[in-house]
Amino acid sequence: MSVILTVGAAFCVNALSVGPMKSLGVFFIQYERELGASAGQASLVTSLLYGAFFLSGPFATILANRFGFRQTIILGTLLASAGSIGCSFSQHIAVVHATIGIMTGVGFGLVNVPTIALIGIRYKEKRSFFNNIVTMGSALTAIPLSPLVQLWIDVYGWRGAFLLIGGVILNVIPSCLLMISTKMNKQIAPAKRRLIDLSLLKSITFPAYAVAAGCDMAAMVAITVYLVRFAQDRDVGNYIAASLSSVISIVDLTLRPISGYITTLTNIGPIPIRRTYYFCGVACIQALVVIIFPFTQSIYAIVAVTVAYAICIGLRGALSITILSDLFGTDKLVSSLGLRAFAVGTFSAATPPLIGRIVDSTGSYDAPFYASAMMSVISAILVSMVQIIILRREKEAARKTKSINVDETAEYKL
């Protein structure tokens, strides 16, 4: 019963924090029309949001280890809600950058790291499956939220929509209180734990994996920021364009449990499963799918490619987080999540504005998809290299151990 309560509450926390982030692409055209922002300035909002979300990872790790997971999540919720509410009073795009971009992004980051770390620490054997269940929350929320936000904009204006989103975010607090009891909060953040373990940076493998994770997330952020605007540029109606995010979420939501189950297995019949290679294979397929977007013209073609892209996202699920534990250990999970998040944030913040400049200069929304495909391939290559290096180190360590045991046995016989 406690497992169901904890995982269910974590599902709700993810749904009410990461879920709204996936729906904010609907505001892109509002920034351009109402505040006179360029494509680069408008894309910078989501760029800052995702950048602050991930760059706050080390800060979230320190706060969680110092003050407790529950306190950190509540603080993040209040900050994220304040950013959304404050954005509703914006008169200039720079204020939107500061509020919904930085304040809300940092707040969501403080919520996300402790939530994911909690699942990884408490449920080691089934963390792949439970991570997928928890992260399904954001997909479930995004299904109705994207068209609902468009409805709020039409009825209450974009300022009223941000006020309502701020209220939605506050519901994270009761979910957090259900997820983490006072006793559990003390158990998962002992006083002797390092605030953040920087020993991960001593080897080339973790920085390489962090860069791979950054490229992977930047590839998805590029699609999140520009997919709706790309469809609108192809003369697709606002509601239908906004619903593309819901299409991705529906497919993602359907496939995540399957992905979670498959990646908990060690073999499918005679075929061994290694999570890292599975991740890399799907990432390469995703790159091939994404590169088709610029060649689509009709709404039917756009929806078809969107579904194919969503299948790739769903088949991977939360695997990027799960293989983090596989490669670097559960005992360093809180620190590795925070440090990974910092690298991911750097890429997420830098990518959309750079692409926005290309969009502004060319007047075409094709560039985001080419960039996304390229970054997915780079990510797959780097993750494969990290896995190969770690496997070689493990084999070398096993060989040395065997050699020492043989020498000790021989000495004993003598």
Q: For residue 122, what are the contacts with CB-CB under 8 A and spacing of at least 6?
A: 6, 188
Count: domains in the chain = 1
Mean of pLDDT values over 166-189: 83
- What confidence tens digit (pLDDT) does each residue in 109-162 have? 999 988 988 887 777 767 777 877 888 887 778 778 878 888 999 999 999 999
Q: In the predicted model, is pLDDT for residue 191 greater than 60?
A: no
The C-alpha atoms of residue 353 and residue 359 are separated, in whole angstroms, by 10
| Segment among 28-37, 82-91, 179-188 with least mean pLDDT | 179-188
Q: What is the pLDDT of residues 223-263, one digit of tens each?
A: 887 888 888 888 888 778 878 877 887 888 788 888 777 77
Tokens matching residue 164: 């309502």
Mean residue pLDDT across the chain: 84
Nearest to 30 by CA among 145, 124, 159: 159
Report pLDDT for 187: 67
**Per-residue pLDDT, 287:** 95
DSSP line for 303-347: HHHHHHHHHHHHHHTTHHHHHHHHHH-GGGHHHHHHHHHHHHHHH
**What domain range includes position 161?**
2-413
The three-point CA angle 226-353-320 to 5° equals: 70
Q: Beta-carbon neighbour count of residue 303 at 10 Å? A: 17
Residue 403 tokens, joined: 């050699």
Residue 12 contacts residue 174 (beta carbons within 8 Å): no
CATH number of the domain residue 366 falls in = 1.20.1250.20
- Provide the pLDDT for residue 232: 86
* Closest by CA position to 288, among listed 397, 410, 372, 383: 372
Q: What pTM was estimated for this model as a whole?
A: 0.73
Residue 272, classed as helix, strand or coil, is strand
299/302 Cα distance (integer angstroms): 5
Q: Packing angle between helix 275-290 and helix 205-233, nearest 10 degrees?
A: 30
